[in-house]
A and B are shown apart, each in its own frame.
Chain A
Amino acid sequence: MSESFLIRGATLPTGERADILLDGGRIAEVGTVADAAGATVVDADGLVALPGLVDLHTHLREPGYEQSETVLTGTQAAAAGGFTAVFAMANTFPVADTAGVVEQELSLGEAAGYATVQPIGAVTVGLKGERLAELGAMAASRAHVRVFSDDGFCVFDPLLMRRALEYVKAFDGVIAQHAQEPRLTQGAQMNEGALSGELGLAGWPAVAEESIIARDVLLAEHVGSRLHVCHVSTAGSVEVIRWAKARGIDVTAEVTPHHLLLTEDLIAGYDPRYKVNPPLRRQEDVEALRAALADGTIDIVATDHAPHPVEAKESEWDAAANGMVGLESALSVVQQAMVDSGLMGWADVARVLSATPARIGRLSGHGEPVAAGSAAELTLVDPSATAPFGVDRLAGRSVNSPYLGRTLPGRVVATFHRGVPTLLDGTVRPADEVAAASARLADGGARG
């Protein structure tokens, strides 16, 4: 396949129509491109061109849980969803709490070639919440870690959280907090409210999230650090973050696609596909999260892509694993919740799913505007395609999607990573082809 692509007649996030020429790993030209010798032409009539999507919150499961996902299959899922970079959470086995593990993840991502895999480092050794992991070593490693998180667990000890926030200032890092007061959520199975009382499932109260966020923004203010809040799920959390931002505290926040669309009512049939942490909340929370994303109180959308094998979800509710796959469906869900509802335009989508996550994670070469000179990270989406979401849309190893059978708008048609197509005509490109192209680029980089 040729190494330059001429994308004809795409709609830019701004709404203008333009041709886009990808060449030499960059966007060479945007506008009316007469012709480009040797370039493969992609007809993008009716397609929106977005900067390659960046996910600040992905679980790739490798090393350790390869039955759920690997770096290869997870980045194939990313490509299918229009993502060109994913931040890999640290809850692997072994935990990504040393330079060795994060460098291994980085290498696996480079070898696969579907997306930039940017490892996230654990805040504490083994995610145990007892002592700091080697944050500096991970930051100085080849993986260049800037985001640290114990995701899955809250850094609950306030002194440890304070120290972590302070320490990562040395290398412009950020702590991404999984805000969950552990004592208030012992045994918690779903959002605490009227429905949990009826279903007899132990409640996960909103206050368990909100109280940790409130504490953390005050800590961040006190020590002058940067804080990122993972998967905000309640209206009350939105109010706390809005207050913190108004006060000038350096806090950013993410919301997942599922918290923008799904509500706790789905749990009434005890279907474990809807079991996730933080849990699905009320319609009022969904509305508040949408409004907060639209007005910038919540900065980004992050998937919390959490693959699990079939048996982990084929059980009674209590025994089922938390989590949903989300990379492949994210853009469609955001289109339904935010774009089709009139709350946001495609330029906003580019901001919340590409530019801002790249900036929060200090990831260069991603999130750049669709303009000449930017890195050739590009996603083409057909917003007019509306279809039931089926397993054919899932490209990772696991199928625990809450959207199967649900009609969703939009479809990612093509994804380019470093100028290499990872998805064309809605089909993930073969692994050997993508790996070979990636290897060629690495050689070229070494020569250059």
Chain B
Amino acid sequence: MLDQLARQIEALLVATEEPVTVGRICELTGCGTESAEQAVLRIEAELASGGHSIVVARLAGGYRIVTDPELGFIVGQLFEGKRHSRLSRASLETLAVIAYRQPATRAQVEAVRGVNSDSAMRTLLERDLVKIEGRQETPGRPLLYGTTSRFLEYFGLNKLEHLPRTNEMENLLKLSAEDIERLASELSGEESDQII
């Protein structure tokens, strides 16, 4: 049996539209950070011991209750034909570059990938996985892109630091920073960046 606080939080995690942060939970229930976190653990334990089909997911810096991925094949039938297709390899690669190097320009992405990434970029914007974060103050003022919180949710990540191999990628990017900039400036000289 769950206590009153845990029940309240459980209800929030079910009804929410987006992951609820600990801060928000405290605000809504009037409890402290520590007790909110403890309560979430109790909810998890309760769900697990009862053999329930739902679990607490830690996504984009918050919590929400979701169905067990193992049951995806059953639940998916409810949404047949309505689900987004998987991302293409081009989109995934583009997204990976933006994720580790954000904010990144399209030319920088193309410098790393060695191919035009226009349509991949468009898909990612349409699907709300990347967003425009401003313009780089260099000639041509190219647009800068970053990832969204939808991105974190889509890949089941709690925060950007949870991306695979963060340290390794950071070092690699540092090593190749000059190369990327050089290639990117060559590329951006050829074509101007448009808002798509």
Instruction: Tell me, yes or no, whether A binds B.
Output: no
Binding site for A on B (CB under 8 A): none
